[in-house]
Structure 1
Amino acid sequence: MSETDSFIEEVSDEVRRDKLFALYRKYGWIAGVIVVLVVGAASYNEWRKHTEIQAAQGFGDAIMTALTAEDVAKRSDAIALVAAPTSETQAFLDLLQAAAKTEARDRDGALALLDGLAANPDAPQTYRSLAELKAVMLRGASQDRTARLAVLDKLATPGNPFRALAMEQKALALYEFGETDAALGLLLAILEEPEVSQGLLERSQQLIVALGGTVPQSPTVDPTNG
């Protein structure tokens, strides 16, 4: 390599270094900000997780304290004082308070909570459906026939988590209305529902017998066939 070429290469290296330092001075702060953001985000996530765990523990402790009240009226008041961090936990509290009011024979107070939860668009649909079911059960025969059956029919649609329970309640309502055959048909249909609890199966079988029906026998498994 000639001296001229060597000189040109050295000059080029210096120019590149100057450009690199210029770029670093101009944009180097961005890398620093990115590092700060990454570290800050990780710290925030850890703080958020810790805060959420503490809030959940505090919420659970507050509920347990409220439920230990021996007087059911005071229990309802204590539940009402528990602060709910989310709409889901508030729906859960509404159900607990409604149960306490029902136990304390405050039917109107319980229905007000259940109806409010059922109509709350911010509450999870599962809680809203459960509130509707509990409300129709609490009203019982005092509710208008059309309104009562309309709620139960809606809850008994396929896919609803309380379908089988709503079918049971509708069967009881139909029996009260004097429609025994229709009630028996629903009770027999419950026996065919998938994932029905053992308790509901037993209640349905007992009601079928009580209404004069016949509980179908379970199919006998042939031990020689598979």
Structure 2
Amino acid sequence: MSNSDGFIEEVTEELRRDQMMAKLKRYGWIGVLVVLAIVGGAAFTEYRNGQERAQAEALGDAVLAALDNEDPAQSAAAIDALDAPDPTAGAVLSLLAASQQLSAEDRASAVENLNAVALNGDVPEVYRQIASFKALTLQADTLDAAARKQGFEALEGAGGSLRLLAREQLALIAIQEEDPTAAIEIYQSILSDAEVTPDLQQRALQVIVALGGEPDLTSAPTNINNG
């Protein structure tokens, strides 16, 4: 099995659940990725051998030590310095480093780490999509609208859990381009999507009204009509 499976096992087996939950709350968006890693790694536990376990424990300890550093810049540097056993583990480390770089207000370095993950074809798609989405949102003030639109359209077309969030970003770009009609149409399509979450529903409703539109709830999922 790959060494990344061993890394994930360290997260699942060596850390107490309460410690992990504290980490998820502390690092916000990166917690989504860690949860995915935990769930994905559980199925492979029976195949892992002792050597991989020892390597995973060492890497896991090093990651935790880096995250416990009070200076996020030093924490990011410590994570960047770790040797990843394979591309998947390297993606996790890069995403954790990017989170710390954001805390240190080093947006340029965070975007660099995120883009490195997003463009790495050896990394599982879910990691690449998370990295791409975060990098695009961080460049709202520095990357032109056309480039960001292309990136979010690609994420929307790829499907997955980020599909509707990418569509929402396209609506925000339309607002930035002073095209409220297009923004309302996009938000209305979000309202009508069967996979829309309650939070996203609420945001879509609020923005449509703020833009002077009238939400059409006739084709919206049942839970929004009952809300």
**TM-score, normalization by structure 1:** 0.68
**In 2: Cα distance, 1:50 partner to 1:214 partner:** 61
> How far apart are 1:180 and its partner, in Å?
0.8
Root mean square deviation, CA, Å = 2.5
Q: Which residue of 1 aligns with 2:175?
A: 175
Determine the structure 2 residue equivalent to 1:16.
none
AA of the residue aligned to 1:184: I
Alpha-carbon offset, residue 86 of structure 1: 2.1
User: How many residues are matched?
Assistant: 176
Query: For residues 197-217 of structure 1, what are the alpha-carbon distances to aligned partners after superposition, in whole Å with 9 as ceiling and x for unaligned?
Result: 333333323322332333444
> In the TM superposition, what are the counterparts of 1:179-198 in structure 2 within 5 Å?
179-198=179-198
Corresponding letter in the other structure for 2:80 = A
Q: Is the 8 A contact 2:119 2:128 kept in 1?
A: yes
- Alignment match, 2:131: 131
Matches within 5 A, 1:102-181: 102-157=102-157, 159-181=159-181
Q: 2:188 corresponds to which letter in structure 1?
A: L
Partner of 1:79: 79
| Correspondence list, 1:83-98, <5 A | 83-98=83-98
Percent identity over the alignment is 37
- Contact kept in structure 1, 2:192 and 2:221, CA below 8 Å: no
- Which of 1 and 2 has higher RCO (CA within 8 Å, sep 6+)? 2
Distance 2:56 2:114 in 1: 24
Which amino acid is the alignment partner of residue 146 of structure 1? A
Q: 1:52-110, CA deviations, whole angstroms, 9 ceiling, x for partnerless residues?
A: 33333333332222112121111211221333222111111111111211221112111
Instruction: Tell me what 1:50 maps to.
Output: 50
For structure 1, the residue ranges without an aligned partner over 5 or more in a row are 1-45, 222-226
Larger Rg belongs to: 1
The 1:158–1:91 alpha-carbon spacing in structure 2 relative to 1, beyond 3 Å, is closer
Q: Deviations over 1:116-164 (max 9, x none)?
A: 2222122222222222211111110421222111111111115243111
Match of 1:99 in 2: 99
Q: Contact 1:141 / 1:173 at 8 angstroms: preserved in 2?
A: no
| Change in 2 beyond 3 A, CA 1:196/1:83 | farther
Give, in whole Å, the separation in 1 of the partners of 2:149 and 2:208: 20
TM-score scaled to structure 2, two decimals? 0.68
What secondary structure does 2:157 align onto? coil
Deviates more, 1:68-77 or 1:204-213: 204-213
Q: Which residue type is aligned with residue 129 of structure 1?
A: Q
Check 1:55–1:208 CA distance in 2 against 1; reply closer, same or farther (3 A cut). farther
Q: Residues 198 and 86 of structure 1: is their aligned pair in 2 closer, same or farther, counting only changes over 3 Å?
A: farther
CA distance in 2, matches of 1:47, 1:174: 49
